């Protein structure tokens, strides 16, 4: 098989089966000519896979190392009989941890506030579970669920009336519940003064112009945005006004990227009917974080592992000041630092909050402060 793959998908050498020929190129350089004679195409979210790209190519298998699939024309693939695979849930923990870091930075008393979750799938559902363990007052809106599945299910209006609103919906422009622009001008006007809006799903679900207008006119809400309309050529005015701005990296963890590659590998070998080789496992020994005695040990532990402000400052310095915004945005993502998830660490903290830290995803061993160094 001849495989064309985005060069930024990790561990591609482990994907190969006997006789495969792999060529890696930039995701934005994948075009009809580059894939014309390929059998397999492996992409990330920056490559739009549709009839224009596939043209008269020989592609038989498309894999996306992503959880979302709004960049894939599923109907076109089905019409042509092209097998498709992606990686739902691969980066769910990383995105949840991004949200928690935002809360620590912008609402340090977040455990005393109400949190509204719009969309309770792989990511929103995981955030919901963690908040419930910590006894955070939570309201959920998701038209595909019922109260037997999520006891805190409520209307969209009630969810958007919370102190904190976190968006976790796929981008769709069809079906019974399209999400394209569904956080519209009317809803944005009704957001409570003092509330915090977080978007880690897709930029297109928010009316960016209406949000920017609210921030310019009243500036009475906080905003954390990781995703944008028309990436990589984003709305720079909105990015400058947001309290936290980052470049589509919320799910960009070491573990998340490798989960995605491993999921693609399993699907590819299953499609090839090759079950002879097991997927390689990545293992590491959790590392110690020696915590200071701060006012809030849970917030301290989260920020010690991942501080979203570092990504915000880098984004503003390297992207928002650049004369070539699109190239700078892509560079920011390509050169993003190695970021490990909470499970990679165990803080030396009081045993009294060990259960809370475990619920958030930290390593489950050696959490007691009394343990010797």
41: left (phi over 0), alpha (psi -120 to 50) or beta: beta
Q: Which one of 44, 107, 248, 333 is the catalytic residue?
A: 248
Report the Cα–Cα distance between both ends of the chain, in Å, rounded: 52
Q: Which one of 105, 107, 126, 231 is the catalytic residue?
A: 231
Q: How would DSSP label each residue in 307-368?
A: -HHHHHHHHHHHTTT-SSHHHHHHHHHHTPPP---GGGEEE-B-GGGHHHHHHHT--SS--B
Determine the Cα–Cα distance for residues 309 and 114; give it in Å rounded to an integer: 23
Return the SS3 of 35: helix
Q: Which of 269, 294, 290 lies closest to 16 in space, CA to CA? A: 269
Determine the Cα–Cα distance for residues 246 and 329; give it in Å rounded to an integer: 10
Q: Which of 19, 53, 52, 56 lies closest to 41 in space, CA to CA? A: 53
Determine the Cα–Cα distance for residues 218 and 162; give it in Å rounded to an integer: 19
Supply 303's token pair. 């920020």
- 202 annotated active-site: yes
Determine the Cα–Cα distance for residues 255 and 282; give it in Å rounded to an integer: 8
Q: Which of 182, 153, 184 lies closest to 169 in space, CA to CA? A: 182
* Beta pairing class for 83-85 and 222-225: unpaired
Only one residue has tokens 């301290």, namely 300
- 337 annotated active-site: no
Q: Which one of 86, 107, 202, 339 is the catalytic residue?
A: 202
Residues 6+ apart with CB under 8 A from 66: 44, 45, 86, 87, 90, 260
In sequence order, which ranges of the chain are alpha helices (DSSP H)? 32-35, 51-54, 74-80, 92-106, 122-133, 156-159, 185-190, 208-217, 236-241, 254-271, 297-305, 308-318, 325-334, 354-360
Give the H/E segment covering residue 139. Answer: strand 137-141
- 248 annotated active-site: yes
Count, residues in the chain: 373
Return the active site residues.
202, 231, 248
């Amino acid at each position: 098989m001849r495989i064309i793959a985005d060069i930024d998908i990790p561990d591609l050498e482990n994907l190969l089966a006997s006789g495969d020929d792999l060529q890696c190129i930039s995701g934005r350089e994948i075009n009809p000519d580059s894939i014309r004679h390929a059998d397999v195409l492996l992409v990330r979210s920056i490559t739009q896979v549709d009839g224009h790209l596939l043209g008269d190519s020989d592609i038989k298998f498309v894999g996306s190392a992503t959880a979302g699939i709004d960049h894939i024309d599923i109907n076109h693939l089905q019409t042509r009989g092209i097998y498709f695979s992606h990686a739902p849930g691969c980066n769910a923990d990383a995105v949840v941890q991004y949200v928690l870091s935002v809360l620590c930075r912008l609402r340090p008393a977040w455990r005393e506030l109400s949190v509204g979750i719009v969309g309770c799938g792989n990511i929103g559902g995981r955030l919901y579970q963690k908040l419930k363990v910590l006894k955070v007052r939570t309201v959920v809106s998701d038209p595909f669920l019922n109260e037997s599945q999520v006891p805190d299910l409520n209307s969209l209006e009630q969810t958007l009336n919370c102190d904190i609103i976190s968006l976790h919906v796929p981008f769709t422009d069809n079906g019974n519940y399209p999400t394209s622009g569904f956080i519209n001008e009317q809803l944005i006007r009704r957001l409570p003064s003092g509330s915090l809006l977080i978007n880690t799903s897709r930029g297109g679900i928010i009316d960016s112009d209406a949000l920017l207008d609210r921030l310019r006119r009243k500036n009475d809400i906080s905003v954390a945005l990781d995703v944008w309309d028309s990436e990589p050529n984003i709305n720079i005015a909105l990015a400058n006004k947001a309290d936290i701005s980052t470049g589509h990296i919320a799910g960009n963890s070491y573990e998340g990227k490798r989960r995605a590659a491993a999921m693609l590998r399993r699907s590819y070998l299953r499609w090839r009917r090759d079950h002879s080789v097991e997927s390689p496992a990545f293992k590491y020994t959790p590392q110690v974080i020696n915590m200071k005695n701060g006012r809030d040990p849970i917030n301290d532990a989260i920020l010690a592992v991942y501080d979203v402000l570092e990504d915000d400052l880098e984004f503003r310095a390297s992207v928002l000041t650049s004369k070539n915004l699109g190239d700078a945005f892509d560079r920011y993502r390509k050169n993003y630092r190695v970021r490990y998830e909470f499970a990679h660490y165990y803080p030396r903290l009081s045993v009294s909050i060990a259960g809370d830290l475990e619920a958030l995803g930290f390593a489950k061993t050696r959490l007691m402060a009394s343990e010797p160094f």
